[in-house]
Chain A
């Protein structure tokens, strides 16, 4: 046989083998390339030792091993690809499960909508022309988060011995929120008591931990379970904003259309559709994140890519402007909240980018941009901290300042260590995984601090 044909045969056989491997979702093209290189090296070594090409190919393929077993190993290692392996084998039973889950989610969403209207029966009136009773602010989280937790307890089939503990934080939150003797504000204005406002803001952060434990369903103490929860939180936020935007448009049209035929429905919209939709939307969005995962899974990395450079630019421009104009930061509660939210968003962006990172690609410009983002956030945090500390030194402690001080220190520690780990990963002294581990290990710290602000600050500062 002439040498050309033999080579041609080999190429044909390798192409077939490659096509066979490509059908396995867990093994990606770059992995196939690596395996193919191995196969070719093996064939070359064997033909050098005197084997005919087709014999060498057979031996090499046999040594490579069973492709099903290999792709299973790949799927196990790259667990983020595992679902692709699973999706292929999904059957009718799964579809029935999905439909069942949809009804449970819709039921709980309806329950959340009902929960926010229930207090009206007990005289907590919702009227667009009057101030909302503080009752609604105090209990804002408690209308929906217990139901969301229940959804995950049901979905993960948590044993009652475990989920019974999850009742405690909600019970404690309800007691604290409703029994603390905040001064009765005359017009129900929430701004009258700083500690009340702080409590309202921090309660969701504290209770989000309980949702997370339910979401992780027994995997909370594994890094993977917590990372999934972080991903879920980010995707829920995106879904919720989308649903809220759609809902807003719908309500606008509703008011407009009924107005056209001389019926004023704005009262109905403000006291029924808006609150019930806002509550039920949380459950529906949570269910959608899980049920329609691929939608947001494809969108989130794109959003990360788009906003990382933009946020870095804004932060740098902010720092630059401050240096040039020399004007200090205005320490007001709303400003500080905005700052902290911004920093949390930066942490989220970094975490998401790291978790969605493709290990096969080397260090790119994008990675350095991420580091730049972290460093500029760190500097903004330092500036804010300095401003808060100065204000405390000058005018003493207030609940707002202490809460802001605590939060900014927590973020400083987080961002600082993240920057260090990122630098190490970029210089190939460690893995990107360390950043994920650090962030997921840090999660409970936020919630514990928030719980402290909720439960200890009001009595500490005399409910001022």
Chain B
């Protein structure tokens, strides 16, 4: 299924923050996790993840540091900050409202899908 660009963009922030809440990670692993979680349904253009990560870093939600990969190459790891955790909680509440609202209307307007 092709998920619209706007929806992908909107869900990127909470998704990345939530994945980092599971533990420190790096770009490639984050994308792999997204693919796992969505059963392969939600796919991003790989390169687009990095501007998102850099924005989150600028906003102080994640902290980046260079570490080493298993093969010894330099790799940038990201960690959720305290502000990031708070922002994730607020995003979660917002998405909950959207989700609840949509569920309500699906049940009435398109019962077959609910």
B46 touches A (CB below 8 Å):
yes
A429-B82 contact, Cβ under 8 Å, with A34-B50, A362-B65: yes
Q: 8 nearest interchain CB pairs? A: A431-B60, A65-B45, A70-B47, A41-B28, A73-B51, A65-B47, A77-B51, A64-B47
* Contact (Cβ within 8 A) B27 A64: no
A34→B55 contact, CB < 8 A: no
Q: C-beta contact mask, B53-87 vs A, less than 8 Å → 1, else 0?
A: 01101111101110001000111100001110000
Q: Which of B47, B65, B76 has the most CB of A within 10 A?
A: B47
Chain B residues in 8 Å Cβ range of A41: 28, 69
B48 close to A (CB within 8 Å): yes
Chain B contacts for A434, CB-based, 8 A: 60
- What is A's interface to B at a CB cutoff of 8 Å? 31, 33-35, 37-38, 40-42, 63-67, 69-70, 73-74, 76-78, 359-360, 362, 425, 428-434
Contact of A429 among B74, B75, B81 (CB under 8 A): B81
Q: How far is the CA of A362 from the CA of B76 in the complex (A)?
A: 12
Closest to B62 in A: A431
CB-CB under 8 A for A63 and B46, given A38-B28, A429-B81:
yes
> Which chain A residues border B55 with CB–CB below 8 Å?
77
B106 to chain A, nearest CB (A): 32
A contact patch SS: helix
The docked-state distance in angstroms from the alpha carbon of A63 to that of B48 is: 10
Q: Could you list 17 further interchain pairs (A-B, Cβ under 8 angstroms) beyond the known A41-B28, A430-B82, A433-B59? A: A37-B69, A38-B27, A41-B69, A64-B45, A64-B46, A65-B46, A69-B45, A69-B48, A70-B45, A70-B47, A70-B51, A74-B50, A77-B51, A77-B55, A359-B64, A431-B57, A431-B83
Can you pick out 12 interface pairs between chain A and chain B where the beta carbons lie within 8 Å of each other?
A34-B27, A37-B74, A38-B46, A40-B73, A65-B47, A69-B47, A73-B48, A76-B51, A77-B51, A78-B54, A429-B83, A430-B60
Note all chain B residues with C-beta closer than 8 A to A33.
74
Residues on the A chain within 8 Å of B47, using CB: 35, 64-65, 67, 69-70, 73
Contact status B48-A34, CB under 8 Å: no
Distance between Cα atoms of A34 and B57 in the complex (Å) = 15
Q: Do the beta carbons of B45 and A74 come within 8 Å of each other?
A: no
Neighbouring A residues of B45 by C-beta, 8 Å? 63-66, 69-70
Q: How far is the CB of B57 from chain A (nearest CB, A)?
A: 6
Which residue of A35, A67, A428 is within 8 Å of B50 (Cβ)? A35
Cα(A78)–Cα(B28), bound, Å = 21
